[in-house]
Amino acid sequence: MPEGHTIHRHARTQRGAIGGQLIRAASPQGRFAHGAKRLDGRVLEDIDAHGKHLFYRWEGGDTLHVHLGLFGKFKLHRAPSPPPPSENTRLTMSSVTATVYLAGPTICELIDPHQEEALRARLGPDPLRNGSRRAKLAAFQANLARRRIPIGAALLDQRVIAGIGNVYRAEVLFRTGIDPHLPAAALAPQAVERLWSESSRQLKQGEKAGRIITVDLGDVGARRRTDLARGERLYAYGRTGEPCRRCGTPISATEMANRTIWWCSSCQPAGAGT
């Protein structure tokens, strides 16, 4: 599933391509025919992202809510006449200069301000959103303090922090040296702050680059980030049994919150983070 950096990147690139313009909307697949008809011919005023959710704001007050889920995909064509959409395209949005195709989303619906408020109230702070760092960090800290589940599970809970997925949870815990099994509420305030800062830094880099690269170049003997092969970009994720890039210990793996998590038992020893 795409993590928050991908969703924010979609918001940014689509805003640049079709934002502020009159949009022709359609649903080739038919499942969003009613909604597309309602949006067709109106101006798309802005596109906003919170965690893994996208909010398209239309002239007249409607909001289109999209969540890609596991299989959802966007295609952006920057040409006046794009190739025709496939028949399973849920929604097409075309300005005179660019077209966005959306297929396979978990959610594609029109919502009113009350529904949006209720939805947003269930999402934790998002490091990629504007706003006071202090307020977001305080919210993150309070969310962790209420949970006894392992920190590795808490990071996947979108009510705790919005936008972290399975790759980033393993990588930010590795980079901060925190034991993934530690109960969320047991983290020391300094560890919480390190975790927030690291999550922010990594998500911002990912949004900018369009890919997740968490290694420091010196740890993989590379000179430039663009030189990194696919298998060299991460410290822990997907590296079961391979040597830790910092200490050589084989990387461990276990199930946490129904997904596999990877960590180094030497760089992130039991209890680290308290």
Residue ranges that bind Zn ion, judged by CB under 5 A: 244, 246-247, 249, 264, 266-267
Question: Annotated catalytic residue: which of 2, 82, 183, 250?
Answer: 2
Q: How far is the CB of 245 from Zn ion (least distance, A)?
A: 7
**Cα angle at 83 between 86 and 10, to 5 degrees?**
80
**Which one, 35 or 273, has the nearer CB to Zn ion?**
273
Question: Annotated catalytic residue: which of 9, 52, 169, 245?
Answer: 52
Residue nearest Zn ion by beta-carbon distance:
244
Distances (CA, A) of 102 to 26, 74, 164, 168: 11, 5, 22, 25
**Which one, 26 or 182, has the nearer CB to Zn ion?**
182
Q: How far is the CB of 264 from Zn ion (least distance, A)?
A: 3
**Which one, 10 or 233, has the nearer CB to Zn ion?**
233
Q: Is 259 an active-site residue?
A: yes
**Which one, 61 or 248, has the nearer CB to Zn ion?**
248
Identify the helix (H) or strand (E) that includes residue 199.
helix 189-209
- Per the DSSP assignment, residues forming a β-bridge with 48 are 55
Q: In what order do the strands lie in the sheet with 89-94?
A: 73-77, 99-103, 89-94, 22-26, 42-50, 53-58, 63-67, 107-111
Q: Is 3 an active-site residue?
A: yes
Find where tokens 């064509």 sit.
77
Q: Is 52 an active-site residue?
A: yes
Give the number of other CB atoms < 10 A from CB of residue 113: 10
Question: Annotated catalytic residue: which of 3, 171, 198, 207?
Answer: 3
Find where tokens 């202090």 sit.
134
Q: How far is the CB of 246 from Zn ion (least distance, A)?
A: 5
Q: Is 73 an active-site residue?
A: no
Q: How far is the CB of 247 from Zn ion (least distance, A)?
A: 3
Residue 68 is which amino acid?
A: L
Q: Annotated active-site positions, please?
A: 2-3, 52, 259
